């Protein structure tokens, strides 16, 4: 194979990879380990991930092919020493240029998608203040007012996993606040996490898909102390109608589980994807 042909092959491999990114390769291989996103931003990151894995596999197959070809083609056939080649300029150019093209393409798509995912629209439909502390989450619906005049909020307790209720098909802005150390807000199904840093006002937005309804586990993704692994919450995506009904019930003084149960959610409106940690230490030591 001439070097020019090899470079051509490498470039077209990268091109094909890019094309495949938006297609169903990911579905065929179960997302190469990634869940399907429930947000529009998540879809873009999912496609980038699939494209990157396919590119890595294409390079891998190319390299394995070369290795096996050399093993077979140049295997030892006798005692005679084969011709010793010191320099091969075309090939040295090839293995300098080809990786650069791969890196440039990956960088190009990463920069585009990262900028896109980080973009904040001016008028989100819902704004939630996420307050993280050791080892709990509080979600404040900043543009609402409860019966006591304060904004409606949901906070976890020893026996209660906080449920964050959001409407499908809407844009949600999260403003993050930490009360102590660095935490990280993470819902695996939105394919995104963002650190909650004391003294830093981290923000991000998601656009939930129209069909995003469901219950999804949320976690703290930054080691924050003894009970870090218990610092969970649940994201409950409802229809926009259920969401406004939920807000009215909360405004009327109902708690999150009461409001969700009144809307007909199973499990009396409690989290279904994660469970409270048993805080009875004596029970643990005796078992």
Closest to Cu ion by CB, 206 vs 224, is 224
| Residue 263 · residue 242 · CB < 8 Å | yes
**Tokens 């409802």 map to which residue?**
238
The answer to whether 250 and 164 have CB atoms below 8 angstroms apart is no
Task: Kindly state the tokens that stand for 79.
Answer: 């005692």
Q: Does 183 help bind Cu ion (rule: CB under 5 A)?
A: yes
Q: Smallest distance from the beta carbon of 142 to Cu ion, in angstroms?
A: 22
Least distance (Å) between residue 220 CB and Cu ion: 3
Minimum distance, C-beta of residue 135 to Cu ion, in the bound complex (Å):
6
- Taking the complex as a whole, the smallest distance from the CB of residue 132 to Cu ion amounts, in Å, to 6
- Please count the helices (runs of H) and the strands (runs of E) in the chain: 7, 10
Phi, then psi, of 207 in degrees rounded to 5: -110, 105
Strand ordering across the sheet containing 171-178: 152-155, 136-141, 126-133, 171-178, 202-207
Nearest CB to Cu ion, comparing residues 225 and 266: 225
CA angle at 34 for the pair 132 and 39, rounded to the nearest 5°: 60
- Would you say 186 or 204 has its CB closer to Cu ion? 186
- # chain residues binding Cu ion, by CB under 5 A: 4
CB of 38 to Cu ion, least distance (A): 22
Cβ proximity to Cu ion, 89 vs 157, nearer residue: 157
Question: Footprint of Cu ion on residues 210-239 (CB under 5 A)?
Answer: 220, 224, 231
- Looking at beta carbons only, is 37 or 220 nearer to Cu ion? 220
First to last CA, the chain: 68
The two structure tokens encoding residue 174? 């999260």
CB of 181 to Cu ion, least distance (A): 7
Q: Please, are residues 235 and 215 in contact by the beta-carbon 8 Å criterion?
A: yes
Cβ closer to Cu ion: 42 or 218? 218
Q: Which stretch binds Cu ion (CB under 5 A): 39-47, 66-74, 162-170, 177-185?
A: 177-185
Site string for Cu ion, 124-163 (x = CB under 5 A): ----------------------------------------
- Ramachandran sector of residue 225 (left: φ over 0; alpha: ψ -120 to 50; beta: rest): left
Question: Distance (Å, rounded) from C-alpha 4 to C-alpha 16?
Answer: 18
Query: Binding pattern to Cu ion, positions 21-60, x when CB under 5 A?
Result: ----------------------------------------
131/224 with CB nearer Cu ion? 224
Q: How far is the CB of 180 from Cu ion (least distance, A)?
A: 9
Strand 232-238 versus strand 163-167 pairing type: parallel
- For Cu ion, the binding residues (CB under 5 A) are 183, 220, 224, 231
């Amino acid at each position: 194979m001439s070097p020019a042909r090899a470079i051509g092959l490498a470039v077209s491999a990268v091109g094909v990879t890019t094309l495949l990114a938006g297609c169903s390769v990911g579905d065929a291989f179960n997302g190469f380990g990634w869940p399907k996103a429930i947000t529009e931003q998540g879809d873009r990151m999912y496609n980038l991930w699939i494209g990157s894995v396919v590119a890595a596999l294409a390079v891998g197959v190319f390299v394995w092919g070369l290795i096996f070809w050399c093993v077979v083609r140049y295997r030892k056939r006798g005692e005679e020493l084969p011709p010793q080649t010191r320099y091969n300029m075309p090939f040295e150019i090839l293995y300098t240029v080809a990786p650069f093209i791969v890196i440039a393409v990956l960088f190009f798509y990463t920069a585009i998608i990262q900028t896109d995912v980080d973009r904040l629209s001016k008028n989100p439909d819902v704004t939630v203040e996420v307050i993280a502390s050791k080892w709990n989450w509080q979600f404040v619906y900043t543009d609402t007012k409860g019966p006591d005049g304060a904004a409606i909020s949901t906070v976890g307790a020893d026996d209660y996993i906080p449920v964050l209720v959001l409407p499908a098909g809407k844009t949600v802005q999260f403003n993050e606040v930490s009360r102590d150390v660095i935490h990280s807000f993470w819902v695996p199904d939105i394919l995104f996490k963002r650190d909650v840093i004391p003294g830093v006002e981290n923000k991000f937005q998601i656009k939930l898909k129209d069909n995003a309804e469901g219950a999804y586990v949320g976690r703290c993704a930054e080691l924050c102390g003894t009970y870090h692994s218990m610092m969970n919450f649940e994201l409950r995506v409802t229809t926009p109608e259920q969401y406004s009904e939920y807000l009215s019930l909360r405004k009327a003084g109902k708690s999150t589980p009461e409001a969700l149960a009144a809307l007909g959610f199973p499990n009396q409106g409690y989290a279904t994807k994660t469970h409270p940690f048993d805080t009875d230490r004596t029970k643990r030591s005796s078992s």
